[in-house]
Structure 1
Amino acid sequence: MDRETLHSTSHGGTDDCTELAAAFLAELKRYCANRLRTAVAQGVIRRGMYSADDLTDEVYLRVCRQAGKVGPEDLDRVKIEMFRTANTLLDEIINTESVSLQGLNIGDVLRDELRALEEKYTIDAEGELIPYEDLDDISYQQEKEGAELQLLEPGFEDELIKALDLEESVIRADDRFRHRLASLYLNLPAMSRILLDLSTRGGLTVEEIARVCTLETEEVRQTITLVRRHFHAAGLGRS
């Protein structure tokens, strides 16, 4: 059943879940697309295996089937449920990530990640610790060997620079700094990266993220603050 079929068989007017969901489908799709793109970049899934459009449609259908008759006052509840359902589906798809969140206490996972973020290292795909300054050596070696430097999608790169208060002129001046930004992002601990994605691509507030992920608001705020410091400590922040 596609969106049009669902819409035609559900309640009409402003009490229709489909009308409410339309207000933030674009943000939901951007969030899903970014997590899938990251999984491809990390080698977790093959390119083209999953579509952000299909995933967003599945979330849309699941939530609106279960929501029943709703009104404008339910907009916030529907929004949270849409992102929560998207997270569940994405975690099912990306079930070979380095940190599996299935069956674990998210708060405990996050506390372990916060300790890791306070170190002056990042972690590569093989789980090895890499000092920040060595990221440039890695990108230099890739460049010398003719390998393509791994960079983020430009629109998302812009969002990260703004959200994390990074020095745009430094990053734009040299693709090595863009590579460093991409490496730091892709090697973030799994849950911390999800919270950052919900904030940037999903456009959610700290309070909304906490509700989607069943966390305390202060845990989310502290994580995003530490992620920002993590990028600044790597030489990408404003001086």
Structure 2
Amino acid sequence: MITQELSQLRKENNFDHFYEKILAFEPSLKEFISRKLHLAENLGIIDKKFYKPNDILDDVYLEVFNNFNNKINAKDLRKKLFIKSVEKIDEKTILGHQLDNHINSDKILKEELQTLNEKYTVDGDGDFILYDELDDISYHQDDFKPSNLILDDSLEKLMLEKLNLENSTLESVKKKKLFGGLFYNLPPASKSIIELHIYGNQSVEDISEIMNIQRKMVEQVIESVKEKFKLIL
């Protein structure tokens, strides 16, 4: 088992081989970190190329290595890797902690789903506005925290594909701003699910394990977010 091999490498204080093993165990982690940083750069939250994905990955693996629990199973190890990755990125940005291993995620997501399913969205000041008024949202755009609401083409394309909205187009600048703004303003736990699904290429089952929530809750969030985006496409 992978955890037994890692435990032995930890006893031998062999970080190089530990790194190779854990990298092969969860290869999508690096892509997840890269996409998270890319998103923060795109929104103007951090300077472009200021942080390197490999540096954050090194920090995550080193911390896991130094604090490795030889009783951990593969499921909990995967969960820990993603949580630590988000924590490391949050330390370097102003995104705030999105994954917390000690909160009642099910309870929070139930509350967030109520918000996602309402016929309202949230503007930059946190005020609720009717979806019917989205056509008049342009005067709100300067109130959003990000300096840039338009995601680059690669991020847009990936999001549309993963949400099965690839037949939709974001031709106008206005729609692109709405798309980026709605994504930025997703509730924290719901956004974590979407980021794991899109940027981490994690399945519903994987996300359920990582965030320790029911599978049906993950499915409901993904579907609710998809329906929310459909309103502006």
TM-score, normalised relative to structure 2:
0.73
Equivalents in 1 of 2:34, 2:83: separation in Å?
A: 15
Would you say the 8 A contact 1:140–1:176 is kept in 2?
no
Pair 1:161-2:160 in alignment = yes
In the alignment, structure 1 segments of 5+ residues that lack a partner are 1-5
Match of 1:181 among 179, 182, 206: 179
Would you say the 8 A contact 2:160–2:166 is kept in 1?
yes
Pair 1:47-2:57 in alignment = no
User: Shift in Å at residue 194 of structure 1?
Assistant: 0.7
Equivalents in 1 of 2:25, 2:121: separation in Å?
A: 33
RMSD over aligned Cα atoms = 3.8
Q: Which residue of 1 aligns with 2:3?
A: none
Q: Which residue of 2 aligns with 1:211?
A: 209
The amino acid across from 1:131 in the alignment is: L
Q: Deviations over 1:90-120 (max 9, x none)?
A: 4566677498968642222111100000012
User: Shift in Å at residue 149 of structure 1?
Assistant: 6.2
Q: Which residue of 2 aligns with 1:3?
A: none
User: Shift in Å at residue 133 of structure 1?
Assistant: 4.5
**Residues 1-239 of structure 1 mapped to structure 2, 5 A cutoff:** 10=14, 16-23=17-24, 27-36=28-37, 46-47=46-47, 51-67=52-68, 78-90=77-89, 97=96, 104-139=103-138, 150-166=149-165, 168-171=167-170, 173-232=171-230, 234-236=231-233
Would you say the 8 A contact 2:79–2:211 is kept in 1?
no
Q: May I ask how many residue pairs the two structures share in their alignment?
A: 217
Equivalents in 2 of 1:89, 1:52: separation in Å?
A: 11
In the alignment, structure 2 segments of 5+ residues that lack a partner are 1-9
SS at 1:170 equivalent? coil
Equivalents in 2 of 1:177, 1:117: separation in Å?
A: 19
SS at 1:130 equivalent? strand
Equivalents in 2 of 1:196, 1:129: separation in Å?
A: 22
Equivalents in 2 of 1:123, 1:217: separation in Å?
A: 27
